[in-house]
Structure 1
Amino acid sequence: MEKIILDCDPGHDDAVAMLLAYANPNIDLLGVTTVAGNQTIEKVTHNALAVAEILNMYNVPIFKGSPQPLVREIEVSEEIHGESGLEGAELPIPSQDIQEKHAVDFIIETVMANEPNTITLVPTGSLTNIALAVKKEPKIIERVKEIVLMGGGFNTGNWSPVAEFNIAVDPEAAHIVFNQEWELTMVGLDLTHQALATDDVFENINNMGTKTSSFFVDLLKFFQKAYKENQDFVSPPVHDPCTIAYLIDPTIVTTKKAPIDIELNGSLTVGMTVVDFRQPIPEDCNTHVAVKLDHSKFWDLIYDAIKIIG
């Protein structure tokens, strides 16, 4: 069983990642931490609590994290996720409270309290919390089992021609996280743009006829409309749960080992994840990039998770 901390900014696809991480029996979700990204920290933290309410997820603590990037002004993705960050479905009033501890401290304490190489960090928003944890307690670097993150891309961007949103909004944090000696797998746009919520997906989820399935259909319908209007996708890509799917079943996501670094200075390319596919791969390379998704296996995991929640 994979012990993980999900560091997220809910966010429609983050909500699906929470669903999959909580419902799948192969994942031990130790905690959810929030970071400003798709919306402000107050909004995404409220959304995390609301999604937890939908999932009956009362035994997983939720911690509020960084309200802004390390050095830059905050940017949000209102055009994709709406004013609340989770438009399209009626959100329940959360019955649980946010934890008093800061997300960064929870990440550090959890990694340090567990055996080395047993905790995987799964960031699906900007990498601010993870970078701050590294700076505050560098000992976590050698103790973390792996970083599996949603962000970046080697062929295209969405926030700029070459930069993906999660990396672009805090490239300094990404630069810190990508340049440590831990194992890191980048699940970027080249992979997640294969995770499309097609008409068949909508039909399959809708046919379940439960409160949970209705909630996620409503979310994905808004997501579909936003992606059509803003990026001309017929079917919306559901990015973030691809990280969880990879941890559940690595055969769902094909990866390649390659050096990756973050551009910080280019006037046109800041936030670009520069992936070096040249051969030979350096012996000390510890980064991997996701390249191919098994679409049907991926969505089968989502269907199963919705059925488990009921």
Structure 2
Amino acid sequence: MNKRIIIDCDPGIDDAMAIIMAASHVSDLRIEAITTVSGNVGVDKNTKNALRICDLIGLHDVPVAMGANRPLVRQQLVASDVHGKSGLDGTALPEEPVKKLADEHAVDVLVEKLMASEGDITLVAIGPLTNIALAIRKEPRIILKIREIALMGGGTYGNRTPAAEFNIYADAEAARMVFESGVAIAMFGLDVTHQALATLDKPDELKGIGNPVATAVSDMIAFYSGAYQGKFAGAALHDPCPVAYLIDPSMFELEHIRVDVETKGEFTYGMTVVDFKGVTDRNPNVQFARKLDQDKFWKLFMETIKSY
């Protein structure tokens, strides 16, 4: 039986790879919609990139809806230093998508899809959490309709500041609302996504597959690796991790713990405060991914690309 998902994203190179994995012939996930948010680049560019990826993989029947163009209360933050000015720099994808944008706003799509469901839709949240926070604020009844939120964000250290990871830092107020909503959350932060490293041999290995999707992913990883030079022995594939978890949970070790989001600290804004020792006595609210079986991950990743 296919697992129903909505992907809320800000494509973004690793978001693109997450969509490609989820839609592959190896995956048992059924994408109900793709919603976009301001993040890696502006929401207009992120939306265009989502449409371009759908064109690449033939994802014709899935609506793509554009969402929030800025965080709830703060100024917009982007990561064009990592993903390039377009958000998908380094690829040879056609500049203009063929696929058309849905008429509805992303928040309305989230609310409508969830309220019409039987509580069997998982949200794959791989960008800032603005859309999801706005949807909860608009229609609080969706909280009981979300099966789970599998999100990429946070960790015990940061990549935007020493304390904060980009997706959470970009809209910490939205993240705090989501983390305190009572929805079941599986969290894939930097602690585990930095274990999903695409080493420097991966672009050539992907190119050897020979299909257009593999070529595009090879180009993405080659460009993306430039942002990691001198820091890691490869490029971290952050956003594919929640998708990999939904396809094969056995590759991750998770721990049920308390995670809170800092919104007021001068140096710690956007920090996910992870209570491993239970010192706060606050109820656990997150399944926190701590370890990845890298062999399983790469076997699945390569199989999904080959399936095109």
Same fold (TM over 0.5): yes
Does structure 1 residue 103 correspond to structure 2 residue 102?
no
Q: Which residue of 2 aligns with 1:178?
A: 179
Partner of 2:274: 275
Alignment of 1:231-270 (within 5 A): 232-270=231-269
**Matches of 1:170 and 1:211, distance apart in 2:** 35
Q: Structure 1 pair 179/40, CA: closer, same or farther in 2 (3 Å)?
A: same
Check conservation: 1:201, 1:299, Cα contact below 8 A: no
Report the residue type matching 2:143 in the other structure: I
Letter paired with 1:246: Y
Match of 1:139 among 132, 141, 146: 141
CA deviations over 1:16-39 (Å, ceiling 9, x no partner): 000011114310111110000000
Letter in 2 for 1:237: A
Equivalent residue, structure 1, for 2:116: 113
2:300 is the alignment partner of 1:301:
yes
Distance 1:262 1:251 in 2: 27
Give the alignment's Cα RMSD to 1 decimal: 1.4
Contact 2:258 2:282 in 1 (8 A): no
Q: Which moved more, 1:90-99 or 1:41-50?
A: 90-99
State how far apart, in whole Å, the 2-side matches of 1:164 and 1:138 are. Answer: 27
**Equivalent residue for 2:46?**
44
1:67 aligns with 2:72: no
* Worse-superposed segment, 204-213 or 157-166: 204-213
Residues 13 and 240, structure 1, Cα contact 8 Å, conserved in 2:
yes
* Residue identity opposite 2:150 in structure 1: V
Q: Secondary structure at the match of 1:146?
A: strand
Unaligned runs of 5+ in 2: none
1:186-205 to 2 correspondence within 5 Å?
Answer: 186-205=187-206
| Aligned-pair CA distance for 1:282 | 5.5
Instruction: Give a deviation string over 1:251-279, Cα, whole Å, max 9, x none.
Output: 11111111000001110000000010114
Structure 2 residue 28 is matched with structure 1 residue 29: no
Please state whether the residue corresponding to 2:236 is helix, strand or coil: coil
- Answer whether contact 1:7 1:33 (CA < 8 A) is retained: yes
TM-score scaled by structure 2? 0.96
What is the CA deviation profile of residues 225-267 of structure 1, one whole-angstrom value per residue up to 9, with x for unaligned ones?
Answer: 1221xx6223010100100000111111111111000001110
**What SS does structure 2 have at the residue aligned with 1:259?**
strand
Assess if the C-alpha contact under 8 Å between 2:9 and 2:127 holds in 1.
yes
Deviations 1:177-226 (A, max 9, x none): 00011111110000000000013433331210121111111111110012
